Amino acid sequence: MVSATEPISVHVVPDDAHHPTRPPTSKHYSRAYAALVRRYMGEPVDISFRELVGPLPASEYTHGLYPYPARLLRHIPRFLLSTEAVVADVDAVFDPFVGSGTVLLEAQLRGFTSIGVEQNPVAALVSRVKVAQGAYEHAADVLEGALVAAKRSRRPVDPSPLLRRWYSEGAMSALGRLAAVAAERDEQDRDLVQLCLALTARRMATTDPRIPVPVKSARNATASSTDVWSQWSQESASIVAKLGTLPPRRPVADVRAGDARDLTLWPSAEQASRTLLLTSPPYGAAQKYVRSTSLEAAWLGHAPKGRTVHLEHNSIGREHLSPQDLELSVSSVSSSRLRQALTSIAERDARRGAIYVAYFADMQRIFMNARSVGMRRIALVSGDNHVAGGALRTSQHLADIVQSLGYRRVVSLRDPIRGRSLLTSRKNGAPAPAEYIEIFEMTPHD
Ligand SMILES: C[S@@+](CC[C@H](N)C(=O)[O-])C[C@H]1O[C@@H](n2cnc3c(N)ncnc32)[C@H](O)[C@@H]1O
């Protein structure tokens, strides 16, 4: 294990140290990283990012704005983005799988501009608010104004059929009015009001709060409109307090809602050569990202017929396969080791086999996008899975794909991080024992 040998406070550059030309790095982290690279001989080097970086509160700034699954340990982007060798020649950070925005916010706090893509509209909304700067000086007034307007509203609400099952009559009526008010706000205010609506709706559902995906419980079964108004006020106060902790004058972070396979959402070729790709991709069979936010998605108008399956169809790691997915064969992936692993899964369970072929074909597309725009450095955080009764070395297979495209692995670090339990507590998916943090660089052409 590598551990910090000197007091962290001496070395960590302040969060709001935005530099006009080049963000500052930490000598301490740069030295620790150089030692890890030297130690790397092809096998992962064991390390604890919590020890290396020291305490970093999980909910500091807007990090804890929303309980979205599979949040990345913020120590990882904090370390990498403070390390000279990782950010050398880098002006910007790109995360094709933004989730609730950990990488983008850390990039912003370190002084980098950033771009991200996120396919789940609820996560994209959370991330937009998380990194929006200077836009919410009047957040308290905007949220209070929405509450007053909703209380006055007499407009009948026609809720999505998905929602009737999950709310009391009183809660339905109040949330419906808040949703109608939110939809009428202009863009910037709409994000803020919709975020407060999503949080309030999450708390007022008759679901078990211990389980991230909706599971029926007795909670809130008799909730009234008044309960919703008071929950709104609580959520609103908490959002305003969190936004108020963000340092001013941060660089721009651009969250693009959409599918990361779509190359038009990526940085241009001109930007890409000075952009670091830093991401934690979805797991295979990770449909719970969508399910965990399905009620909020319905309140925000993303479940038109009471269904969110269309969102799953655009997800990488989807379980609902389309006819095109079923046409994919193992030959669509470039790595022979991966082809063997996929064939073996398909022999044990044909459907799982098809899900994982689609997953790796999609991930290959992501890395091909990176190469085609000319990104020189990739920092990848991934874990392994158990699939159809066997271990699947997802991190190794992703690394094989990246290397097959001409990137060289500079270092592979292994951290026994817990925290992806939502995505792995399936009967066919044992918890990931560790996460792998790997840096790849494009091999220079002669
Ligand atoms: C592991 S999470 C990222 C977590 C993030 N690092 C954080 O700390 O919040 C992966 C994310 O990829 C998103 N995703 C899945 N398929 C996608 C696609 N085709 N395009 C963009 N995002 C996608 C999921 O919705 C999920 O939010």
Question: How far is the centre of ligand 1, averaged over its atoms, from the C-alpha of 210 (Å)?
Answer: 22
pLDDT at 179 exceeding the cut of 90: yes
**Residues 384-423 pLDDT 10s:** 988 999 999 999 999 999 999 999 999 999 998 764 444 4
> Which atom of ligand 1 is nearest to 68's Cα?
9
Atom 4 of ligand 1, residue of closest alpha carbon: 99
**Residues 33-70 pLDDT 10s:** 999 999 999 999 999 999 999 999 999 999 999 999 88
Question: How far is the centre of ligand 1, averaged over its atoms, from the C-alpha of 301 (Å)?
Answer: 20
**Residues 350-376 pLDDT 10s:** 999 999 999 999 999 999 999 999 999
Question: How far is the centre of ligand 1, averaged over its atoms, from the C-alpha of 168 (Å)?
Answer: 32
Give the binding-site residues of ligand 1, using a 6 Å CB cut-off: 68, 70-72, 96-97, 99-103, 117-120, 123, 259-261, 280, 282, 289, 314-316
Q: What percentage of the chain carries pLDDT values higher than 70?
A: 90
Over residues 310-323, the mean pLDDT reads 86
If one residue of 114, 256, 278, 289 were mutated to test the ligand 1 pocket, choosing by the most ligand atoms within 8 A of its CB, it would be 289
Q: Where in the chain is the domain with CATH 3.40.50.150?
A: 8-121+251-281+316-442
CATH of range 8-121+251-281+316-442; options 3.90.78.10, 3.40.50.150, 1.10.230.10, 3.30.450.20: 3.40.50.150
> Which atom of ligand 1 is nearest to 71's Cα?
8
So what's the pLDDT on residue 314?
87
Question: How far is the centre of ligand 1, averaged over its atoms, from the C-alpha of 96 (Å)?
Answer: 7
The three-state DSSP-derived secondary structure of the chain is CCCCCCCHHHHCCCCCCCCCCCCCCCHHHHHHHHHHHHHCCCCCEECCHHHHHCCCCCCCCCCCCCCCCCCCCCHHHHHHCCCHHHHCCCCEEEECCCCCCHHHHHHHHHCCEEEEEECCHHHHHHHHHHHCCCCCCCHHHHHHHHHHHHHHCCCCCCCCHHHHCCCCHHHHHHHHHHHHHHHHCCHHHHHHHHHHHHHHHHHHCCECCCCCCCCECCCCCCCCHHHHHHHHHHHHHHHHHHHHCCCCCCCCEEEEECCCCCHHHCCCHHHHCCEEEEECCCCCCCCHHHHHCHHHHHHCCCCCCCCCHHHHHCCCCCCCCCHHHHHCCHHHCCCHHHHHHHHHHHHHCHHHHHHHHHHHHHHHHHHHHHHHHCCCEEEEEEECEEECCEEECHHHHHHHHHHHCCEEEEEEEEECCCCCHHHHCECCECCCCCEEEEEEEECCCC
Specify the range with the lowest mean pLDDT, choosing from 13-17, 257-261, 317-321.
Answer: 13-17
**Residues 189-233 pLDDT 10s:** 999 999 999 999 999 999 999 988 899 999 999 999 999 999 999
Atom 3 of ligand 1, residue of closest alpha carbon: 99
**Residues 6-38 pLDDT 10s:** 333 333 444 444 444 677 889 999 999 999 999
> Which atom of ligand 1 is nearest to 102's Cα?
8
Question: How far is the centre of ligand 1, averaged over its atoms, from the C-alpha of 285 (Å)?
Answer: 13
If one residue of 94, 118, 131, 213 were mutated to test the ligand 1 pocket, choosing by the most ligand atoms within 8 A of its CB, it would be 118
Question: How far is the centre of ligand 1, averaged over its atoms, from the C-alpha of 61 (Å)?
Answer: 21
Question: How far is the centre of ligand 1, averaged over its atoms, from the C-alpha of 116 (Å)?
Answer: 10
Question: How far is the centre of ligand 1, averaged over its atoms, from the C-alpha of 188 (Å)?
Answer: 23
Question: How far is the centre of ligand 1, averaged over its atoms, from the C-alpha of 112 (Å)?
Answer: 20
Query: In whole numbers, what is the pLDDT of the chain averaged over residues?
Result: 89
Over residues 252-263, the mean pLDDT reads 97
Question: How far is the centre of ligand 1, averaged over its atoms, from the C-alpha of 97 (Å)?
Answer: 4
Atom 10 of ligand 1, residue of closest alpha carbon: 282
Atom 13 of ligand 1, residue of closest alpha carbon: 97
So what's the pLDDT on residue 20?
46
